[in-house]
Structure 1
Amino acid sequence: MAALLLLLPFSRIYGLITDIRNWLYDRDLYAVYKSDRCVIAVGNLTVGGTGKTPMIEYLIKRYQFTGRAVPLETATLSRGYGRHTKGFRIASKQDSASTIGDEPLQLFRKFNQTVRICVGERRAEAIQKLLASYPETNRILLDDAFQHRAVKPQFNLLLTDYNRPFYTDHPFPAGRLRERRHGARRADAVVVTKCPLTLSDIEQNRIRESIRVYARSETPVFFAGLQYSFPVPFSGLGVFANLDRVMLVSGLGNADPLEQYVSRTFRMRTHHRFADHYAYSRSELDQLLAALQPGESLLTTEKDWVKLSALLKPDELNRLPLYYLPVEMAFLDNSKTEFDRLVDEIPFKKR
């Protein structure tokens, strides 16, 4: 508490700086690019994982598998955090986590036949380059773009973690907010992520009212949890083995929900936590493999799988007891129907 009190004055200064920046964008004193295509921004107010990639995947599946899009009509665009390249880049089979980032690579491995996966730190410039090369693109999903004011999206989707809601947090350095809480007023919808799937209506209403102190009164608020699937072998071959004893490895912004699920579902001996978007080395992987006990498997996230698997030889992929855990967004109660209706109604211009 003493440290918080000491840091709060600096948080107020940081919050004032972000307020001025937003004021300049709101009044068009900073250049803002607005595409004539459907641009949906997914982001948050805090640093750390709030489930942005599962949400991007949910939107991809919503548009691709409900007959609302044709192949390669939709593109995703992110900064490509952790990559060793610069500028605009469209993912290809030659790319790795070091060239496009771990989450874009994860998306590419899943959706490369139907969606273009792109990275570019300057989003406005990247969108224009994308459309110049592929004018048939009609929908662009911006990942982690709530504070990227240089692009004005058609729809701003704000995510907040149930375990760390933005309305109880503070700006840097006293807290984890990238800007002050009232930045939520830019949101066209808010999704509270990582909720318990049994979250009561009373608790939902309490959270909804807390959010509306800072968001617009008409902004809809939805609730979603994370739904884990059966573990998948690193090789992608064979059937799911009935795992029992596991060693968990993760590089996430907030790994607590994952740890809670794994400890409930398997006999988890230990959890090796790494920083978000961690770039593993072969020597670190060897240390993890050496720590495995007889009859124990290494279990990790899909985001970490794309990096760890690249360090292995083909025979190791098939031989070693290595698995990743797919996860997807699961809306609570009737939220799914309401949310789907909302995103289906986002203005979309067919060319």
Structure 2
Amino acid sequence: MMRPLEGLLVLDFSTLLPGPLASLVLAEAGARVVKIERPGRGDEMRSYEPRVGEDSVNFLMLNRGKQSIAIDLKAPDALERLKPLISIADVIIEQFRPGVMDRLGLGYEAVRRLNPKLVYCSVTGWGQTGPKAQVAAHDLNYMAETGVLGLSAGADGAPVLPPVLAADVAGGTLPAIINILLALRQRDLTGYGCHLDVAMGDNLFTFLYWALGEGFTGNGWPQGGQSLVTGGSPRYQVYRTRDGRYLAAAPLEDKFWEAFTRIIDLPEPLRDPAAPVETVKAAVAERIAARTADDWRAAFAGQDVCCSIVATLEEAVSDEHVAARRLFAHALKANGGEIPALPVPLAPVFRPVATRATAPRLGETVDPMLSV
């Protein structure tokens, strides 16, 4: 079966995570992706630890199945050398601060004169315009300044350091992919590409829909540890078990709450929605702490209660459901061996059967379309 993006050429000027992960998804869907890297060092991610052979495992995971061209974008002849590829490319992804590509002669206005059909995607932290457009930041900063981090209160009330790079992936990568595909569809209708301004900070607000609704309607701005999904309810909590494991309990709806409280034998008065929240939380915590994780796993098995034992990552990747879904069926060839490839959010129908691919060595691609 032909993959949906076969025949498309993507030039990826980005480094690190948001842009490269976006182009990885496009590559997995069939696009030809050519990384444009600086000579000598390449993508900054190549130098990260741990390493597998010459490159970091981070780089290998994010750049499977791509090609690499090493070129100094500041060189006087860089634009001339890239013109043959730009003229036939379908998509450009870049991740520099606003204005950098313009100064290199590779900004949208310059390249669209070469190729009006080009979809040009700029991924930045704060967007192409606005007071923060030139401010340097990382994932943690975007979550801090958009209010996301402030809603993640720990036991002492301090924000909890997130283990996932939500701004990069959910605010950068995924919106970039969505808008690139929309722009390609628009190009089918109009014959012209466009410039996409993807701002990670902007896109994080989407995930706070419930909090924005509370604040904008005058019900009060939610605080960490106080709202329904931030720790303010016994129906959405993490409880410690007797053996030091944790139970993630999310019996939000009444039917789930009724089943959950029956199984843990919570006293009838505390099952009432009008019961004091802190009293109920303490009583539930006491009951969960009385038994081991395995005890609770067995007690909740086959029951509609929306409860899970918190898994380690090692346990999660070994889960029988993950195996049945063949989530790690694709392989990444590296340093003479293989490791599972990074799963990407593509429906199975859009991906080939299990494949084995490598990430490119720096500058390995000798392309007849690239002037030398």
**TM-score when normalising by structure 2:** 0.27
- Over alpha carbons, which structure has the higher Rg? 2
